[in-house]
Amino acid sequence: MLSPRFKTFVSYYTPYRAVFALSMGAALLGALIAVCLPLVARDITQKALAAAPLADVLSVGGLMLALIVLYALCDTVMDWHGHRLGALIEGDMRADLFAHYQTLSFRYYDDHKTGEMMSRITGDLLEVSELCHHGPEDLAIATLKLVGAFVVLLAIDVPLALLVLAFMPFLLAYALVFYRRMVAALRRSRTRIAEVNTHIEDSLSGVRVVQAFTNASAEQAQFDHYNRRFIDSRVDGYRNEALYWGGIVLFSELISLLVVVVGALRIASGALSPADLVAFILCVGILIDPIRRAVNLTRLLQDGITGFERFMEVMETPPDIQDSPNATDLAGVRGEIRFDDVTFRYRSEHRDVLSHLNLTIAAGEYVALVGASGVGKTTLCALIPRFYEASSGAVRVDGHDVRSVTLRSLRQHIGIVQQDVYLFSGTVADNIAYGKPGASRAEVIEAAQAANAHAFIMALPDGYDTDIGQRGVKLSGGQKQRLSIARAFLKNPPILIFDEATSSLDYESEQAVQQAVERLAHGRTLIVIAHRLSTIQRAQRILVLTEGGIAEQGTHDALMQRGGAYASLYRTQATI
């Protein structure tokens, strides 16, 4: 019975049955022609030795020429459409994997490194592509050539064929031993070049730190260590590759020499004709290709199956946050948010980040969250758009449990500006418009003005069309944060969450953005996580979170009069 994973693997061929059939048909026809060519060569030799009319010799020569041209055509079709098939399947798998990555929750990304996920979507699928293309072809060609060549050899001369057959296991064993050594060395090279790349990425990304601490010599020494290990593995791989191919050539030449010597003796005894010996030698040459393909197939199977299993490990990882079967779209959102006895922990064995939290935020209310690091401010906000799932209790928007509505409709109504700003490669306008795909340039500019970003954008070389580099590397921290805020402004949702959104801004920019945020908050629910307490004095309600939950809440003035945790924290900041 076929395993589910094998069925999944085969299913990727289904849309490209015609391409597969064309590639395999060309491969099989080419292999058949290769087996037939020695027989045609024997016929030409026989006619020439028998002093047949020139026309007869030329007619058979013309047939052989036609077969050679057809063989070359088959090889071209197989190579072209075979690689095309592999690329198409690889593209489908990569698209499926990328789409599945988009469905996985923050919890998955907390547990997996970006480099590892990238290797699955690039290097692993390249290995699978090679198996999809070369695997069936190599198996079919090797089988047909091996069986066909031996049938021809046995038909020509049984004793000589058995002598050749006796040598084949030694050739195959030698090829497998050194091919495995070569592949092992190449795999070590991959691992070690990954170490080199990781070190280069770390060193170059942190070049400012390296230079600030004058650690260039230490970085160079560490790089030299990794680089030397990589070169050693490459040299070892090349040595085994030379021994592999050198042995193949040696064995093939020894077999040819044996056939020539023994064949000559059998011609002298009258047991074999010269024409038969010509065909026999040509068939022996054909036998080397199946051996090479069989050895290559073992490598393809090892790498391809490993790559496919790593692909399936991700594809079989169910999203721990997804739409329920009867989920409905959330529409007409007013912005009321309620936490009903909500408890959350990142892992079952971890402590509770939030414990039995009860909180109601009215539609249109401006609420600020303050407290020490690690008390759950960001976590509380992440539960609203279901970036994480509450361990128990319920989070509700306008009375709807967030688990009962579609993720897309829920998140469409929530705008988030995070402390760790992420900008995409592209232009300033592209990054702002990410908040509302298809937005006009006028809307983009209006959002930038609201975020106090228009002035610095116009000072850039190409204004809104300036390329900001990967992750906005060409911008300052404050500039990146203002673009992120403009992106949220453009989305214009009924619920806004600002997580330390003004922490990287200078005082003047902070005040301007704060005013813009408060203007935008009119008629919307606004939740602000604040480090600088001076920025939230106009909040309608300030919640002070501690590890025990909400310690106190109220307006700035009321909390200051109370003289509790908030007042103490505010006075501490004021003296800094």
Give the confidence band of 256 by pLDDT, cuts at 50, 70, 90: confident
For residue 357, give the nearest of 549, 93, 118, 151 by alpha carbon: 549
pLDDT surpassing 80 at residue 46: no
The pLDDT value given to residue 477:
75
Least confident among 300-304, 385-389, 481-485: 300-304
Least confident among 53-57, 115-119, 133-137, 426-430: 115-119
Comparison of pLDDT for 289 and 19, the residue scoring more: 19
Strands of 213-263, DSSP E: none
Taking residue 66's Cβ as centre, other Cβ atoms within 10 Å add up to 12
Comparison of pLDDT for 295 and 379, the residue scoring more: 379
Do 472 and 483 contact (CB within 8 A), yes or no?
Answer: yes
DSSP string covering 156-194: H-HHHHHHHHHHHHHHHHHHHHHHHHHHHHHHHHHHHHH
Comparison of pLDDT for 156 and 349, the residue scoring more: 156
The pLDDT value given to residue 405:
92
Comparison of pLDDT for 262 and 419, the residue scoring more: 262
345 is written with which tokens? 């922990």
Give the confidence band of 304 by pLDDT, cuts at 50, 70, 90: confident
178 is written with which tokens? 């050194």
The pLDDT value given to residue 21:
93
Give the confidence band of 509 by pLDDT, cuts at 50, 70, 90: low
Do 369 and 333 contact (CB within 8 A), yes or no?
Answer: no
Do 69 and 103 contact (CB within 8 A), yes or no?
Answer: no
533 is written with which tokens? 């307490």
For residue 464, give the nearest of 426, 431, 489, 427 by alpha carbon: 427
Rounded to two decimals, the pTM is 0.73
Taking residue 46's Cβ as centre, other Cβ atoms within 10 Å add up to 18
Q: What separation in angstroms does the CA of 458 have from each of 94, 487, 553?
A: 39, 17, 42
Give the confidence band of 503 by pLDDT, cuts at 50, 70, 90: low
- The fold of the 8-156+307-319 domain, in CATH, is ABC transporter transmembrane region fold (1.20.1560)
64 is written with which tokens? 């052989």
CB contact set of 419 (below 8 Å; sequence gap of 6+): 499, 500, 501, 503, 529
Q: Convert 141-159 to b/e letters by CB count within 10 Å (16 or more is b).
A: bbebbbebbbebbeebbee
pLDDT surpassing 90 at residue 73: yes
- Give the H or E element holding residue 416: strand 414-417
Averaged over 540-569, what is the pLDDT? 88
Do 493 and 415 contact (CB within 8 A), yes or no?
Answer: yes
pLDDT surpassing 90 at residue 62: no
Taking residue 240's Cβ as centre, other Cβ atoms within 10 Å add up to 20
Looking at the chain, the whole-number percentage of residues with pLDDT higher than 70 is 95
The pLDDT value given to residue 219:
83
Give the confidence band of 367 by pLDDT, cuts at 50, 70, 90: very high
Give the confidence band of 205 by pLDDT, cuts at 50, 70, 90: low
pLDDT single digits (tens) 377-410 = 888 998 999 988 888 999 999 999 999 999 889 9
Strands of 238-375, DSSP E: 337-344, 354-361, 366-371
What does the radius of gyration of the chain's CA atoms come to, in whole angstroms? 35
The pLDDT value given to residue 530:
82
pLDDT surpassing 80 at residue 49: no
pLDDT surpassing 90 at residue 337: yes
pLDDT surpassing 60 at residue 576: no
- The fold of the 337-574 domain, in CATH, is Rossmann fold (3.40.50)
Q: Convert 460-493 to b/e letters by CB count within 10 Å (16 or more is b).
A: beeebebebeeebebbeebbbbbbbbbbbbbbeb
Give the highest mean pLDDT range of 212-216, 297-301, 454-458.
454-458
Would you list the domain boundaries of the chain? 8-156+307-319, 158-271, 337-574
